[in-house]
Amino acid sequence: MTDLPRHGRSRVAQIAGIVRNAPDFLQRAAERCGDIVQLDVARGPVVLLTDPDATRTALADNKRFSKGFAPSAQIGHLGESPMRTILGDGLLTSRGERHRQRRRFIQPEFHPHRLGTYDEIIRSEADRMTSSWRDGAIIDVHATFAETTLRILTRTAFGTAVSDADAAMVRTSMDAATRWMAINAILVAFAPRLGHRQVLARRAALAGIDGLIGRLLAQPAETRNDLLFRLAAAGLSDGDLRAELLTLLLAGHETSTNALAWACHALAGQPGVLAAVNAEVEADPVEGPLLRAVVDETLRLYPPIWLMVRQTLSDVVLAGRRLPAGITILLSPYVLHRDRRWWSHPAEFDPYRWLTGPSGTHRTPVEARRAYLPFGAGPRACVAGAFAVNEIMIVLSRVLRDWHLRYAGAPARMLPRVTLRPRGEMRMRISRR
Ligand code: HEM
């Protein structure tokens, strides 16, 4: 199709690499082959792009690039990406005018000037979580944060907290619905029948969440003034409402959960940094520059959205190469954030790179202005980035103020699904400070 550098290994070897550890495979591909490389992992052409400026162009220019896989790389059977088939046409997956309209509607809810109004909910949910912790216990911090971020999201956006049983149900359903999803999106192109069955099974896995959404919608309207109420009042169809709620449930709590869990995990491996953050949290419970740096560094090393997908709508030139229309492009914050051309000692968790001195003010390092995209960029950038950072800072500061978290067993390993999660439980021993 093009004169692009090829990966060089056989198709089977490439697919095996993706199945084994997709972020690692992409990182190695970029290191070996350069800023733009053609992979043979789907029927249609798929290109990995890791040049920071070209990545930003692909994210910013929605005339020449569109979200999602090109039709040539999709499951022939469905003519639709798995994500869209499962979630419906919500903010995350919709395109064109429909997306613009929804975005205009939903964005103000998460605007920085509204954030203060959510602080009390976030604080109270963080305290509710830690009030059940027992000194010396071992907990799965990922599961614990998942419940808390879900309650924060449903209270702030939908005006009601979910019960513990519903939180557990959402976790199990999401888990079943997103298993293998990122990899599937590439692989099922070779086995459409299997792909179709899988997508239907995933959709079925969300039946419990559909029930929850029905109950959320049935709340008395006069008690509410939240996003859900405004969406319902705007006359959205049941299907559209379901899509928006499901999207917010999926996009709005897994991501923050992973960031919180990886932050605690990284701090447990860096006693010096942990002591300094603890001292800061005691003096300044929320706004401290080191705490903010810990969040930035966590999102660098463990970007919850580790992969974004775009397709070319017309012929384009990217990173000095010509690409025709209909190509799928993989953009990876994970690869960008660990590129040693832009980051010194990239595999190290070093929050101080975000500070001007040992206890200085927060800054954005030069390298980050180009090669740091935890929330994406352009018209499809995260609609709630500021909300998420605020939420993570508050929850983390409440935890660190009163508790020490240490590994209970071996450090966690990464599991790349739609989000970058820990593999299995993330078990940590908690003790009172
Ligand atoms: C640390 C937490 C989070 C991270 C790292 C994150 C990251 C991202 C990224 C990278 C995108 C762009 C995807 C793309 O361009 O393909 C995105 C989109 C989105 N995020 Fe987040 N997100 C986080 C938290 C949240 C929260 C808390 C919510 C909701 C309350 C949310 C809702 C969304 C939605 C609806 C979109 C789609 C926006 C659109 O297409 O217009 N995210 N997020």
- pLDDT 10s per residue in the chain (433 long)? 567 889 989 988 998 898 889 999 999 999 999 999 999 887 788 999 999 999 999 999 999 999 988 877 665 444 456 677 778 889 999 989 999 999 998 998 898 888 888 999 999 999 999 999 999 999 999 999 999 999 999 999 888 888 989 988 998 888 888 776 655 665 556 666 776 777 777 778 888 888 998 888 887 766 667 888 888 888 888 888 889 998 998 889 999 999 999 999 999 999 999 999 999 998 877 779 999 999 999 999 999 999 999 999 999 999 999 999 999 999 999 999 999 999 999 999 999 999 987 667 888 887 788 899 999 999 999 999 999 999 999 999 999 999 999 999 889 999 988 899 999 999 999 999 9
Q: Is 24 exposed, middle or buried (0-12, 13-18, 19+ CB in 10 A)?
A: middle
Residue among 380, 382, 419 whose CB has most ligand 1 atoms within 8 A, to mutate: 382
The CB of 26 under 6 Å from ligand 1? The reply is no
Does the domain spanning 11-432 belong to CATH 3.40.50.2000? no
The CB of 68 under 6 Å from ligand 1? The reply is no
CB 396 within 8 A of CB 256: no
User: Which pLDDT belongs to residue 76?
Assistant: 46
Give me ligand 1 centre to Cα 375, in Å: 6
Q: Nearest-CA neighbor of 185 among 332, 78, 96, 257?
A: 78
What is the C-alpha to C-alpha distance for residues 65 and 325, in angstroms, rounded to an integer?
9
Those residues with Cβ within 8 angstroms of residue 171's Cβ, 6 or more apart along the chain or in another chain = 143, 146, 147, 150
Residue minimizing CA distance to atom 37 of ligand 1: 92
Straight-line distance from the first to the last Cα atom of the chain, in angstroms, rounded to the nearest whole number: 60
The CB of 248 under 6 Å from ligand 1? The reply is yes
Helix (H) or strand (E) holding 66: strand 65-67
What is the C-alpha to C-alpha distance for residues 102 and 98, in angstroms, rounded to an integer?
6
Give me ligand 1 centre to Cα 357, in Å: 31
Tell me how many degrees the CA angle 70-193-81 measures, rounded to the nearest 5.
25
The CB of 252 under 6 Å from ligand 1? The reply is yes
What is the C-alpha to C-alpha distance for residues 280 and 358, in angstroms, rounded to an integer?
12
Could you give the C-alpha distances from 133 to 265, 349, 405, 424, in angstroms and in order?
A: 17, 27, 12, 21
Could you give the C-alpha distances from 84 to 79, 80, 250, 260, 404, in angstroms and in order?
A: 10, 7, 13, 27, 41
Give me ligand 1 centre to Cα 385, in Å: 7
